[in-house]
Structure 1
Amino acid sequence: MANTTTNSSTLPAHINTNANAATATTTAQVSHPEGAGFHQNFSEYVQMDHKVFFAAADRNKDVILEKLRPCLDTARQVLEVGSGSGQHTYHFSKSYPNVTFQPTEYDTALLASIDAYAFDLLKEGHHIRPALELNATNPIHWQHILRTGQEQGQVGGQEEEMEQGCYDVVMTTNVFHISPWVVGQSIVRGAGRVLKRGGRFVVYGPFKKDGTFNTESNREFDKNLRERDASWGVRDIEEIEALAAGEDIQLKLDQVVDMPSNNYMLFFTKQ
Protein backbone atom coordinates (compact mmCIF):
# COMPACT_ATOMS: atom_id res chain seq x y z
CA MET A 1 0.00 0.00 0.00
CA ALA A 2 1.05 3.60 -0.49
CA ASN A 3 2.64 5.56 2.31
CA THR A 4 -0.07 7.10 4.49
CA THR A 5 1.80 10.36 4.93
CA THR A 6 0.88 12.84 2.20
CA ASN A 7 1.68 16.50 1.74
CA SER A 8 1.09 19.04 -1.00
CA SER A 9 4.47 18.37 -2.56
CA THR A 10 3.30 14.87 -3.56
CA LEU A 11 0.21 16.17 -5.37
CA PRO A 12 -0.23 17.14 -9.02
CA ALA A 13 0.99 20.66 -9.66
CA HIS A 14 -2.35 21.85 -11.03
CA ILE A 15 -4.17 21.32 -7.70
CA ASN A 16 -5.00 24.48 -5.77
CA THR A 17 -4.19 23.76 -2.12
CA ASN A 18 -5.57 27.09 -0.92
CA ALA A 19 -7.92 26.47 2.02
CA ASN A 20 -10.28 29.10 0.60
CA ALA A 21 -10.80 27.18 -2.63
CA ALA A 22 -13.98 25.62 -1.27
CA THR A 23 -15.56 29.07 -1.11
CA ALA A 24 -14.93 29.83 -4.77
CA THR A 25 -17.93 31.14 -6.69
CA THR A 26 -19.82 29.08 -9.21
CA THR A 27 -18.31 29.49 -12.67
CA ALA A 28 -20.58 27.24 -14.73
CA GLN A 29 -24.01 25.70 -14.45
CA VAL A 30 -26.16 23.97 -17.05
CA SER A 31 -29.11 21.62 -16.97
CA HIS A 32 -29.63 18.63 -19.28
CA PRO A 33 -31.02 15.08 -19.03
CA GLU A 34 -28.93 12.59 -17.04
CA GLY A 35 -25.84 11.03 -18.63
CA ALA A 36 -22.07 10.70 -18.26
CA GLY A 37 -18.94 12.62 -19.25
CA PHE A 38 -18.25 16.38 -19.20
CA HIS A 39 -18.42 17.94 -22.65
CA GLN A 40 -20.79 15.07 -23.53
CA ASN A 41 -22.58 15.00 -20.17
CA PHE A 42 -26.37 15.31 -20.10
CA SER A 43 -26.35 15.95 -16.35
CA GLU A 44 -26.70 19.31 -14.68
CA TYR A 45 -23.32 20.37 -13.30
CA VAL A 46 -21.72 23.08 -11.21
CA GLN A 47 -18.05 24.01 -11.32
CA MET A 48 -16.34 25.55 -8.30
CA ASP A 49 -12.66 26.34 -8.75
CA HIS A 50 -11.16 23.04 -10.04
CA LYS A 51 -14.02 20.85 -8.78
CA VAL A 52 -16.90 19.91 -11.06
CA PHE A 53 -20.10 18.68 -9.41
CA PHE A 54 -22.46 16.44 -11.39
CA ALA A 55 -25.90 16.06 -9.84
CA ALA A 56 -26.36 12.60 -11.38
CA ALA A 57 -23.12 11.33 -9.80
CA ASP A 58 -24.25 12.65 -6.43
CA ARG A 59 -27.65 10.96 -6.72
CA ASN A 60 -26.35 7.47 -7.47
CA LYS A 61 -23.16 7.38 -5.37
CA ASP A 62 -24.73 5.73 -2.30
CA VAL A 63 -26.67 3.00 -4.08
CA ILE A 64 -23.61 2.11 -6.16
CA LEU A 65 -21.34 2.01 -3.13
CA GLU A 66 -23.76 -0.24 -1.26
CA LYS A 67 -23.61 -2.86 -4.02
CA LEU A 68 -19.85 -2.45 -4.43
CA ARG A 69 -19.06 -3.11 -0.78
CA PRO A 70 -18.57 -6.90 -1.09
CA CYS A 71 -15.94 -6.21 -3.78
CA LEU A 72 -14.26 -3.33 -1.97
CA ASP A 73 -14.14 -5.11 1.39
CA THR A 74 -11.30 -7.32 0.18
CA ALA A 75 -9.74 -5.05 -2.47
CA ARG A 76 -6.30 -3.47 -2.38
CA GLN A 77 -6.24 -1.75 -5.78
CA VAL A 78 -9.26 -0.42 -7.66
CA LEU A 79 -9.29 1.05 -11.16
CA GLU A 80 -12.14 3.36 -12.13
CA VAL A 81 -12.68 3.79 -15.88
CA GLY A 82 -14.34 7.11 -16.66
CA SER A 83 -14.12 8.83 -13.28
CA GLY A 84 -15.89 11.95 -14.53
CA SER A 85 -15.63 14.73 -11.98
CA GLY A 86 -14.05 12.50 -9.32
CA GLN A 87 -17.09 12.49 -7.04
CA HIS A 88 -17.41 8.69 -7.01
CA THR A 89 -13.73 8.08 -6.30
CA TYR A 90 -13.95 10.58 -3.45
CA HIS A 91 -17.10 8.99 -2.02
CA PHE A 92 -15.81 5.42 -2.25
CA SER A 93 -12.42 6.32 -0.77
CA LYS A 94 -14.10 7.99 2.19
CA SER A 95 -15.52 4.58 3.15
CA TYR A 96 -12.39 2.63 2.16
CA PRO A 97 -9.36 4.74 3.16
CA ASN A 98 -6.94 1.78 2.93
CA VAL A 99 -7.89 0.86 -0.63
CA THR A 100 -5.77 2.42 -3.38
CA PHE A 101 -7.95 3.98 -6.08
CA GLN A 102 -6.70 4.76 -9.58
CA PRO A 103 -9.09 7.20 -11.29
CA THR A 104 -9.00 7.66 -15.07
CA GLU A 105 -10.86 9.83 -17.55
CA TYR A 106 -11.05 10.25 -21.32
CA ASP A 107 -11.97 13.94 -21.06
CA THR A 108 -8.73 15.59 -19.95
CA ALA A 109 -10.66 18.72 -18.94
CA LEU A 110 -11.88 16.73 -15.93
CA LEU A 111 -8.51 15.51 -14.63
CA ALA A 112 -8.04 18.61 -12.49
CA SER A 113 -11.46 18.09 -10.91
CA ILE A 114 -10.70 14.45 -10.03
CA ASP A 115 -7.40 15.42 -8.40
CA ALA A 116 -9.03 18.33 -6.56
CA TYR A 117 -11.54 15.96 -4.93
CA ALA A 118 -8.71 13.52 -4.14
CA PHE A 119 -6.64 16.23 -2.46
CA ASP A 120 -9.18 16.60 0.34
CA LEU A 121 -8.72 12.93 1.28
CA LEU A 122 -5.00 12.67 0.56
CA LYS A 123 -4.44 15.14 3.38
CA GLU A 124 -6.09 12.59 5.68
CA GLY A 125 -3.92 9.69 4.48
CA HIS A 126 -6.29 8.08 1.97
CA HIS A 127 -4.88 6.41 -1.13
CA ILE A 128 -5.98 8.02 -4.40
CA ARG A 129 -3.44 8.21 -7.19
CA PRO A 130 -3.25 11.16 -9.60
CA ALA A 131 -5.88 10.78 -12.30
CA LEU A 132 -4.67 9.33 -15.60
CA GLU A 133 -5.92 10.00 -19.10
CA LEU A 134 -7.54 6.88 -20.54
CA ASN A 135 -8.69 6.56 -24.10
CA ALA A 136 -10.04 3.03 -23.81
CA THR A 137 -9.18 2.29 -27.46
CA ASN A 138 -5.49 3.16 -26.92
CA PRO A 139 -3.43 0.10 -25.87
CA ILE A 140 -0.59 2.34 -24.67
CA HIS A 141 -2.89 3.93 -22.10
CA TRP A 142 -3.85 0.50 -20.76
CA GLN A 143 -0.21 -0.53 -20.64
CA HIS A 144 0.63 2.54 -18.56
CA ILE A 145 -2.25 1.81 -16.17
CA LEU A 146 -1.10 -1.80 -15.82
CA ARG A 147 2.49 -0.79 -15.11
CA THR A 148 1.38 1.84 -12.60
CA GLY A 149 -0.63 -0.77 -10.74
CA GLN A 150 2.19 -3.31 -10.83
CA GLU A 151 4.65 -0.76 -9.44
CA GLN A 152 2.19 0.10 -6.66
CA GLY A 153 1.91 -3.60 -5.87
CA GLN A 154 5.70 -3.86 -5.80
CA VAL A 155 5.78 -6.73 -8.26
CA GLY A 156 9.25 -7.84 -9.34
CA GLY A 157 10.75 -6.46 -12.52
CA GLN A 158 10.41 -9.62 -14.62
CA GLU A 159 8.74 -8.73 -17.92
CA GLU A 160 6.41 -11.71 -17.78
CA GLU A 161 5.33 -10.73 -14.26
CA MET A 162 4.72 -7.16 -15.34
CA GLU A 163 2.23 -8.41 -17.94
CA GLN A 164 0.02 -10.03 -15.29
CA GLY A 165 -3.10 -8.28 -14.01
CA CYS A 166 -2.86 -6.45 -10.71
CA TYR A 167 -6.20 -4.75 -9.97
CA ASP A 168 -8.74 -6.35 -7.66
CA VAL A 169 -11.65 -4.32 -9.05
CA VAL A 170 -12.24 -2.45 -12.31
CA MET A 171 -15.43 -0.40 -12.29
CA THR A 172 -17.14 1.94 -14.70
CA THR A 173 -20.31 4.00 -14.35
CA ASN A 174 -22.60 5.38 -17.06
CA VAL A 175 -20.10 5.06 -19.89
CA PHE A 176 -21.31 2.30 -22.23
CA HIS A 177 -24.43 4.05 -23.49
CA ILE A 178 -22.83 7.43 -24.12
CA SER A 179 -19.82 6.29 -26.13
CA PRO A 180 -19.32 4.28 -29.33
CA TRP A 181 -19.61 0.51 -28.97
CA VAL A 182 -15.91 0.16 -29.80
CA VAL A 183 -15.21 2.05 -26.55
CA GLY A 184 -17.34 -0.38 -24.54
CA GLN A 185 -15.61 -3.29 -26.23
CA SER A 186 -12.22 -1.77 -25.43
CA ILE A 187 -13.16 -1.28 -21.77
CA VAL A 188 -14.13 -4.95 -21.47
CA ARG A 189 -10.88 -6.05 -23.10
CA GLY A 190 -8.86 -3.65 -20.97
CA ALA A 191 -10.50 -4.88 -17.77
CA GLY A 192 -9.68 -8.46 -18.71
CA ARG A 193 -6.08 -7.43 -19.23
CA VAL A 194 -5.44 -5.51 -16.00
CA LEU A 195 -7.52 -7.55 -13.52
CA LYS A 196 -5.86 -10.23 -11.45
CA ARG A 197 -7.39 -13.70 -11.44
CA GLY A 198 -10.52 -13.62 -9.29
CA GLY A 199 -10.80 -9.84 -9.68
CA ARG A 200 -14.17 -8.21 -10.31
CA PHE A 201 -15.29 -6.07 -13.26
CA VAL A 202 -18.34 -3.97 -12.39
CA VAL A 203 -20.42 -1.99 -14.87
CA TYR A 204 -23.29 0.36 -13.93
CA GLY A 205 -25.81 1.96 -16.26
CA PRO A 206 -28.91 1.39 -18.40
CA PHE A 207 -28.91 -1.84 -20.41
CA LYS A 208 -31.20 -4.07 -22.46
CA LYS A 209 -31.82 -7.75 -21.72
CA ASP A 210 -32.04 -10.00 -24.79
CA GLY A 211 -32.53 -6.89 -26.89
CA THR A 212 -35.49 -5.74 -24.80
CA PHE A 213 -35.74 -2.47 -22.89
CA ASN A 214 -36.84 -2.81 -19.27
CA THR A 215 -39.00 0.34 -19.52
CA GLU A 216 -40.50 2.52 -22.21
CA SER A 217 -38.56 5.47 -20.81
CA ASN A 218 -35.28 3.66 -21.51
CA ARG A 219 -36.44 2.99 -25.06
CA GLU A 220 -37.05 6.71 -25.48
CA PHE A 221 -33.72 7.46 -23.82
CA ASP A 222 -31.97 5.18 -26.33
CA LYS A 223 -33.73 6.97 -29.20
CA ASN A 224 -32.62 10.36 -27.87
CA LEU A 225 -29.05 9.15 -27.50
CA ARG A 226 -28.90 7.88 -31.08
CA GLU A 227 -30.37 11.12 -32.38
CA ARG A 228 -27.53 12.99 -30.69
CA ASP A 229 -24.87 10.55 -31.90
CA ALA A 230 -25.61 7.47 -34.00
CA SER A 231 -22.73 5.59 -32.32
CA TRP A 232 -24.29 5.91 -28.85
CA GLY A 233 -27.10 3.83 -27.38
CA VAL A 234 -28.24 1.50 -24.61
CA ARG A 235 -26.26 -1.75 -24.95
CA ASP A 236 -27.46 -5.33 -24.61
CA ILE A 237 -26.23 -7.27 -21.56
CA GLU A 238 -25.93 -10.51 -23.53
CA GLU A 239 -23.73 -8.83 -26.13
CA ILE A 240 -21.37 -7.60 -23.41
CA GLU A 241 -21.44 -11.02 -21.73
CA ALA A 242 -20.50 -12.80 -24.96
CA LEU A 243 -17.59 -10.45 -25.59
CA ALA A 244 -16.35 -10.73 -22.00
CA ALA A 245 -16.38 -14.54 -22.10
CA GLY A 246 -13.86 -14.64 -24.97
CA GLU A 247 -10.70 -16.66 -24.47
CA ASP A 248 -8.55 -13.53 -24.65
CA ILE A 249 -10.62 -11.75 -21.95
CA GLN A 250 -12.02 -14.49 -19.67
CA LEU A 251 -14.55 -12.45 -17.70
CA LYS A 252 -17.58 -14.42 -16.51
CA LEU A 253 -20.84 -12.60 -15.82
CA ASP A 254 -22.07 -13.96 -12.49
CA GLN A 255 -24.53 -11.34 -11.24
CA VAL A 256 -26.97 -8.80 -12.71
CA VAL A 257 -28.45 -6.47 -10.07
CA ASP A 258 -31.52 -4.29 -10.58
CA MET A 259 -30.79 -0.69 -9.58
CA PRO A 260 -32.90 2.46 -9.10
CA SER A 261 -33.91 4.58 -12.10
CA ASN A 262 -34.15 1.49 -14.35
CA ASN A 263 -30.41 0.82 -14.27
CA TYR A 264 -28.39 -2.36 -13.69
CA MET A 265 -25.06 -3.32 -12.16
CA LEU A 266 -23.22 -6.12 -13.93
CA PHE A 267 -20.66 -8.12 -11.96
CA PHE A 268 -18.01 -10.15 -13.81
CA THR A 269 -15.21 -12.30 -12.37
CA LYS A 270 -11.82 -12.75 -14.01
CA GLN A 271 -11.27 -16.46 -14.67
Structure 2
Amino acid sequence: MTQGRPWFTNQARSPAAADARLHAPATQRNRDAIAQVLARELPAAGLVVEVASGSGEHALYFAQRFPGLDWQPSDPDPLARASIAAWASGGALEGEALEGGASEGASAGAPANLRLPLALDAASPHWPVERAEALLCINMTHISPWEATLGLLAGAARILGQGAPLILYGPFLWGDVETAPSNLAFDAQLRARDARYGLRAVEELDQAAARQGLARTALHVMPANNLLLVYRVQSAPR
Protein backbone atom coordinates (compact mmCIF):
# COMPACT_ATOMS: atom_id res chain seq x y z
CA MET A 1 0.00 0.00 0.00
CA THR A 2 2.69 2.49 0.97
CA GLN A 3 6.34 2.53 0.02
CA GLY A 4 8.22 3.24 3.21
CA ARG A 5 7.99 6.15 5.58
CA PRO A 6 11.37 7.91 5.62
CA TRP A 7 10.34 10.26 8.41
CA PHE A 8 10.41 7.32 10.80
CA THR A 9 13.64 7.04 12.77
CA ASN A 10 14.67 3.73 14.23
CA GLN A 11 15.61 4.58 17.79
CA ALA A 12 15.43 2.07 20.63
CA ARG A 13 14.26 3.74 23.84
CA SER A 14 15.80 1.05 26.05
CA PRO A 15 17.88 -2.13 25.60
CA ALA A 16 14.63 -4.12 25.72
CA ALA A 17 13.36 -2.30 22.65
CA ALA A 18 16.03 -4.05 20.53
CA ASP A 19 15.72 -1.47 17.75
CA ALA A 20 12.31 -2.76 16.64
CA ARG A 21 10.52 0.40 17.75
CA LEU A 22 10.18 3.04 15.07
CA HIS A 23 9.58 6.64 16.01
CA ALA A 24 7.43 9.03 13.98
CA PRO A 25 8.11 12.47 15.51
CA ALA A 26 4.70 13.85 14.49
CA THR A 27 2.88 11.38 16.74
CA GLN A 28 4.07 13.13 19.87
CA ARG A 29 2.93 16.49 18.52
CA ASN A 30 -0.54 15.51 17.30
CA ARG A 31 -1.71 12.72 19.60
CA ASP A 32 -3.34 14.91 22.26
CA ALA A 33 -5.27 17.02 19.76
CA ILE A 34 -6.46 13.87 17.99
CA ALA A 35 -7.42 12.21 21.28
CA GLN A 36 -9.56 15.19 22.28
CA VAL A 37 -11.64 14.79 19.12
CA LEU A 38 -11.72 10.99 19.34
CA ALA A 39 -13.24 11.33 22.80
CA ARG A 40 -16.26 12.98 21.14
CA GLU A 41 -16.49 10.79 18.04
CA LEU A 42 -15.65 7.24 19.20
CA PRO A 43 -18.16 4.94 20.90
CA ALA A 44 -17.75 4.24 24.60
CA ALA A 45 -17.01 0.56 24.04
CA GLY A 46 -16.25 -1.90 21.27
CA LEU A 47 -13.50 -2.60 18.75
CA VAL A 48 -11.56 0.17 17.01
CA VAL A 49 -9.53 -0.95 14.00
CA GLU A 50 -6.66 1.38 13.19
CA VAL A 51 -5.61 1.09 9.54
CA ALA A 52 -2.00 1.91 8.60
CA SER A 53 -0.85 2.19 12.21
CA GLY A 54 2.76 2.85 11.21
CA SER A 55 5.13 2.94 14.16
CA GLY A 56 2.42 1.95 16.66
CA GLU A 57 2.92 4.95 18.93
CA HIS A 58 -0.60 6.23 18.32
CA ALA A 59 -2.05 2.77 18.95
CA LEU A 60 -0.33 2.49 22.33
CA TYR A 61 -1.25 6.01 23.37
CA PHE A 62 -4.90 5.79 22.35
CA ALA A 63 -5.32 2.34 23.91
CA GLN A 64 -4.16 3.86 27.19
CA ARG A 65 -6.33 6.94 26.78
CA PHE A 66 -9.47 4.90 25.96
CA PRO A 67 -9.41 1.80 28.21
CA GLY A 68 -13.06 1.00 27.44
CA LEU A 69 -12.23 0.31 23.79
CA ASP A 70 -10.39 -2.64 22.29
CA TRP A 71 -7.68 -1.29 20.00
CA GLN A 72 -6.69 -3.29 16.91
CA PRO A 73 -3.66 -1.84 15.09
CA SER A 74 -2.73 -2.98 11.60
CA ASP A 75 -0.25 -2.30 8.82
CA PRO A 76 0.77 -4.02 5.57
CA ASP A 77 4.46 -3.40 6.29
CA PRO A 78 6.15 -6.14 8.39
CA LEU A 79 8.65 -3.63 9.80
CA ALA A 80 5.78 -1.45 11.00
CA ARG A 81 4.04 -4.46 12.55
CA ALA A 82 7.24 -5.37 14.39
CA SER A 83 7.42 -1.82 15.71
CA ILE A 84 3.77 -1.88 16.80
CA ALA A 85 4.33 -5.14 18.67
CA ALA A 86 7.49 -3.77 20.29
CA TRP A 87 5.76 -0.61 21.49
CA ALA A 88 2.84 -2.66 22.81
CA SER A 89 5.01 -5.17 24.65
CA GLY A 90 7.23 -2.43 26.05
CA GLY A 91 4.23 -0.59 27.40
CA ALA A 92 5.94 2.81 27.54
CA LEU A 93 4.72 6.01 25.99
CA GLU A 94 7.02 8.03 23.78
CA GLY A 95 6.75 10.95 26.20
CA GLU A 96 7.83 8.76 29.10
CA ALA A 97 10.84 7.42 27.24
CA LEU A 98 12.10 10.81 26.16
CA GLU A 99 11.14 12.92 29.13
CA GLY A 100 11.35 10.49 32.02
CA GLY A 101 7.77 10.81 33.21
CA ALA A 102 4.33 9.52 32.32
CA SER A 103 2.24 11.67 30.03
CA GLU A 104 -0.80 13.21 31.63
CA GLY A 105 -3.96 11.16 31.16
CA ALA A 106 -2.24 7.86 30.37
CA SER A 107 -0.57 5.21 32.47
CA ALA A 108 2.57 3.16 31.88
CA GLY A 109 2.44 -0.55 31.15
CA ALA A 110 1.21 -2.55 28.20
CA PRO A 111 -2.58 -2.01 28.11
CA ALA A 112 -4.71 -5.15 28.05
CA ASN A 113 -7.01 -3.60 25.44
CA LEU A 114 -4.23 -3.26 22.83
CA ARG A 115 -4.18 -6.21 20.43
CA LEU A 116 -1.28 -7.53 18.39
CA PRO A 117 -1.04 -5.93 14.92
CA LEU A 118 -2.71 -7.44 11.88
CA ALA A 119 -1.39 -7.55 8.32
CA LEU A 120 -4.03 -5.43 6.62
CA ASP A 121 -3.72 -3.70 3.26
CA ALA A 122 -6.45 -1.10 2.89
CA ALA A 123 -6.54 -1.57 -0.88
CA SER A 124 -7.33 -5.27 -0.58
CA PRO A 125 -10.96 -6.46 -0.61
CA HIS A 126 -10.01 -9.13 1.93
CA TRP A 127 -9.48 -7.83 5.44
CA PRO A 128 -8.66 -10.01 8.48
CA VAL A 129 -11.45 -8.26 10.42
CA GLU A 130 -15.16 -8.92 9.93
CA ARG A 131 -16.74 -6.42 12.32
CA ALA A 132 -15.76 -3.29 14.23
CA GLU A 133 -17.41 -0.39 16.01
CA ALA A 134 -15.04 2.21 14.52
CA LEU A 135 -12.23 2.64 11.98
CA LEU A 136 -9.36 5.09 12.38
CA CYS A 137 -6.79 5.99 9.73
CA ILE A 138 -4.10 8.59 10.41
CA ASN A 139 -1.85 10.07 7.73
CA MET A 140 -2.39 7.42 5.07
CA THR A 141 -4.49 8.90 2.29
CA HIS A 142 -1.80 11.26 0.99
CA ILE A 143 1.10 8.75 1.07
CA SER A 144 -0.62 5.89 -0.72
CA PRO A 145 -2.31 5.36 -4.09
CA TRP A 146 -5.92 6.53 -4.39
CA GLU A 147 -6.88 2.84 -4.58
CA ALA A 148 -5.89 2.49 -0.92
CA THR A 149 -8.36 5.20 0.09
CA LEU A 150 -11.09 3.64 -2.05
CA GLY A 151 -10.34 0.30 -0.41
CA LEU A 152 -10.53 1.91 3.02
CA LEU A 153 -13.98 3.30 2.27
CA ALA A 154 -15.15 -0.06 0.90
CA GLY A 155 -13.75 -1.81 3.96
CA ALA A 156 -15.59 0.60 6.24
CA ALA A 157 -18.84 -0.23 4.44
CA ARG A 158 -18.17 -3.95 4.95
CA ILE A 159 -17.24 -4.05 8.62
CA LEU A 160 -18.99 -1.08 10.25
CA GLY A 161 -22.59 -1.07 11.39
CA GLN A 162 -25.15 1.67 10.89
CA GLY A 163 -23.92 4.97 12.32
CA ALA A 164 -20.43 3.69 13.11
CA PRO A 165 -17.56 6.10 12.34
CA LEU A 166 -14.67 6.02 9.92
CA ILE A 167 -12.24 8.70 11.11
CA LEU A 168 -9.53 10.12 8.86
CA TYR A 169 -6.77 12.48 9.96
CA GLY A 170 -4.15 14.26 7.90
CA PRO A 171 -3.56 17.12 5.47
CA PHE A 172 -6.32 17.59 2.89
CA LEU A 173 -7.44 20.06 0.24
CA TRP A 174 -10.72 21.64 1.31
CA GLY A 175 -13.02 23.52 -1.05
CA ASP A 176 -12.35 27.23 -1.37
CA VAL A 177 -10.28 27.35 1.83
CA GLU A 178 -6.79 28.53 0.97
CA THR A 179 -4.27 25.71 1.30
CA ALA A 180 -1.31 26.51 3.52
CA PRO A 181 1.95 27.02 1.57
CA SER A 182 3.57 24.25 3.63
CA ASN A 183 0.84 21.82 2.55
CA LEU A 184 1.21 22.86 -1.10
CA ALA A 185 4.95 22.24 -0.88
CA PHE A 186 4.34 18.89 0.81
CA ASP A 187 1.87 17.93 -1.91
CA ALA A 188 4.40 18.77 -4.63
CA GLN A 189 7.08 16.79 -2.81
CA LEU A 190 4.81 13.75 -2.55
CA ARG A 191 3.79 13.86 -6.21
CA ALA A 192 7.43 14.18 -7.27
CA ARG A 193 8.22 11.10 -5.21
CA ASP A 194 5.29 9.10 -6.58
CA ALA A 195 2.67 10.42 -9.01
CA ARG A 196 0.03 8.32 -7.24
CA TYR A 197 0.53 10.22 -3.97
CA GLY A 198 -0.69 13.65 -2.93
CA LEU A 199 -3.16 15.51 -0.74
CA ARG A 200 -6.76 14.44 -1.35
CA ALA A 201 -9.66 16.83 -1.75
CA VAL A 202 -12.36 16.56 0.90
CA GLU A 203 -15.02 16.84 -1.80
CA GLU A 204 -13.51 13.91 -3.69
CA LEU A 205 -13.49 11.86 -0.51
CA ASP A 206 -17.12 12.80 0.15
CA GLN A 207 -18.16 11.54 -3.28
CA ALA A 208 -16.23 8.28 -2.96
CA ALA A 209 -17.64 7.74 0.54
CA ALA A 210 -21.20 8.32 -0.68
CA ARG A 211 -20.78 5.52 -3.21
CA GLN A 212 -20.09 3.22 -0.26
CA GLY A 213 -23.07 4.42 1.76
CA LEU A 214 -21.07 6.71 4.06
CA ALA A 215 -21.68 10.40 4.71
CA ARG A 216 -19.39 12.95 6.31
CA THR A 217 -20.88 14.02 9.62
CA ALA A 218 -18.04 16.17 10.95
CA LEU A 219 -14.96 18.09 9.88
CA HIS A 220 -12.60 19.20 12.64
CA VAL A 221 -9.90 21.76 11.92
CA MET A 222 -6.73 20.54 13.63
CA PRO A 223 -3.34 22.07 14.44
CA ALA A 224 -0.54 22.25 11.86
CA ASN A 225 -2.92 22.60 8.89
CA ASN A 226 -4.49 19.18 9.32
CA LEU A 227 -8.12 18.08 9.30
CA LEU A 228 -9.98 15.26 11.02
CA LEU A 229 -12.89 13.93 8.96
CA VAL A 230 -15.66 11.72 10.32
CA TYR A 231 -17.75 9.56 8.01
CA ARG A 232 -20.59 7.39 9.27
CA VAL A 233 -22.38 4.48 7.67
CA GLN A 234 -25.79 5.61 6.40
CA SER A 235 -26.86 2.91 3.93
CA ALA A 236 -25.70 -0.05 1.86
CA PRO A 237 -23.06 0.65 -0.84
CA ARG A 238 -24.41 1.74 -4.22
Q: How far is the alpha carbon of 1:267 from its aligned partner?
A: 0.7
Q: How far is the alpha carbon of 1:119 from its aligned partner?
A: 2.0
- The corresponding residue for 2:195 is 230
> For 1:206 and 1:175, how far apart are their aligned partners in 2?
10
- The corresponding residue for 1:264 is 227
> For 2:82 and 2:209, how far apart are their aligned partners in 1?
32
- The corresponding residue for 1:3 is none
- The corresponding residue for 1:88 is 58
User: Percent same amino acid among aligned pairs?
Assistant: 33
Change beyond 3 A, Cα 1:211–1:185: farther
Residues paired across the two proteins, number: 211
Q: List per-residue Cα deviations over 1:71-107 (Å, max 9, x = no partner).
A: 3352311000000011001000111223111110021
Contact 1:98/1:126, CA 8 A, preserved across alignment: no
Q: How far is the alpha carbon of 1:186 from its aligned partner?
A: 0.8
Structure number, greater radius of gyration? 1
Change beyond 3 A, Cα 1:75–1:213: farther
Of 113, 130, 134, 1:169 maps to 134
Letter in 2 for 1:176: T
Letter in 1 for 2:124: N
- The corresponding residue for 1:178 is 143
Higher relative contact order (CA 8 A, sep 6+): 2
> For 2:120 and 2:85, how far apart are their aligned partners in 1?
15
Matched, 1:145 2:118: no
- Please state which structure has a larger fraction of its residues in strand: 1
Q: List per-residue Cα deviations over 1:218-255 (Å, max 9, x = no partner).
A: 11111111111111000000001011111xx2111011
What is the aligned-residue RMSD (CA, Å)? 1.9
Q: How far is the alpha carbon of 1:53 from its aligned partner?
A: 1.5
Q: How far is the alpha carbon of 1:43 from its aligned partner?
A: 2.1
Change beyond 3 A, Cα 1:245–1:43: same
SS in 2 for 1:204: strand
TM-score normalised by L of structure 2: 0.82
- The corresponding residue for 2:94 is none
TM-score normalised by L of structure 1: 0.73
